[in-house]
A and B are shown apart, each in its own frame.
Chain A
Amino acid sequence: MKLTLRVWRQQNAEAPGAMVTYEVDGISRDMSFLEMLDTLNEELILGGDEPVAFDHDCREGICGACSLVINGDAHGPERTTTCQLHMRSFQDGDTIDVEPWRASAFPVVKDLVVDRSAFDRIIQSGGYISAPTGTAPDAHATPVPKPDADFAFEHAECIGCGACVAACPNGSAMLFTSAKVNHLNVLPQGAPERETRVLDMVATMDEEGFGGCTLTGECATACPKGIPLPSIAAMNKEWLRATRKVRR
């Protein structure tokens, strides 16, 4: 396959960036999108140019490190992570636009790499439980109803890649935050911090400069792990419950 790539190049956080056009040839349909970028980078290095910086780690679709907006879609045209996107999703001769996540809370570090530590700070403000130390408790000492366990697992699937923020026209982190809140709030292990968790995590989300939710549904469409849109309604319910229960 021969492709024309238009890639966002930006030297550092302060420097202005621009789309730069590259031609790549000899791309196999079986390559992942990141392997295609590796091919481009090898050519750039051989030509004495600086390679395109992009985030990646496990390349198995489970770590949440990769983050590219491909032709306007977070993680590209398939519902998966960029590392699991294969070049067979494109046609020979295609022009492909590659951009970083765009959100004021995710400033560009270099080229396609953005700083997603705002997500870490949301987690720090409430994405934990108080677990007693000492001997391991007996198995099944804390019963969890099956529907609750399923609900928690569904939300625990979130890998924190930030595609929801990138896809949202408002740069909102509501789907991410709701996945994390719902995951712990439904379980007995998360019960002690049930109210403070949702209030603190939503407050941190606001402080970090993410936009609000207008229920466009773009986040749930882009999510590689299929966190559903009703998660947001479930978190809103938790938030309203917490405002009634907690006095501060």
Chain B
Amino acid sequence: MSLIKAEGITKQYLLGNQTVDALRGISFDINQGEFIAIMGPSGSGKSTLMNIIGCLDTPTQGKYFLNQQEVSTFKGDELAKIRNKEIGFVFQTFHLLARNTALDNVMLPLKYAGFDKAKQMKRAKSVLLQVGLESRMEHQPSELSGGQQQRVAIARALVNKPSILFADEPTGNLDSQTGNEVIKLFKDLHDQGQTIILITHENEIASIAQRTIFIKDGLIESDTQNK
């Protein structure tokens, strides 16, 4: 069984009184443990697709299954629960809470999952250890380098053991060296069996993935296995 199954997904927006077709029928399967890059020029519908796969939004038409659940019929808080349990987000701009320490940031998904404080701490600390930030746990984002901030964000994405790690241009705000470090971290996570979906426009970064899906004009232009 596949982890993700998308069947004929379309998405229409209303811009003023004009209907815009952002996605025009997209279907694919993603299996457990895959490392996938989604590419495409801006305006291709890449972000819209990401929102739908990430359960931040629902398709206008089509079916989207995640772990055999038909998520496309879910609403509001049901989607929030799926995001909390199944998906770990890593954003280009890190999106850390500025007034909280690294540890507090990483604990946040567990708080929304309803774990007790002791368990939140224990898990968050072990994930921060995994990303090599055990010595920076009590620091606020402003006291961390860009690379460190992104590793906090990755720790936060991993802390609730999601089915999918979802990264949207994770190296976009980093210099090439720290970018490479982050990419290496993704590779390591993949080697440990983590399913990863990476959205990027850089071929170099996409090339580390096993498979690349290229989106153009709201349709899949190509879906290729990398060597």
Do A and B bind?
no
Binding site for A on B (CB under 8 A): none
Binding site for B on A (CB under 8 A): none
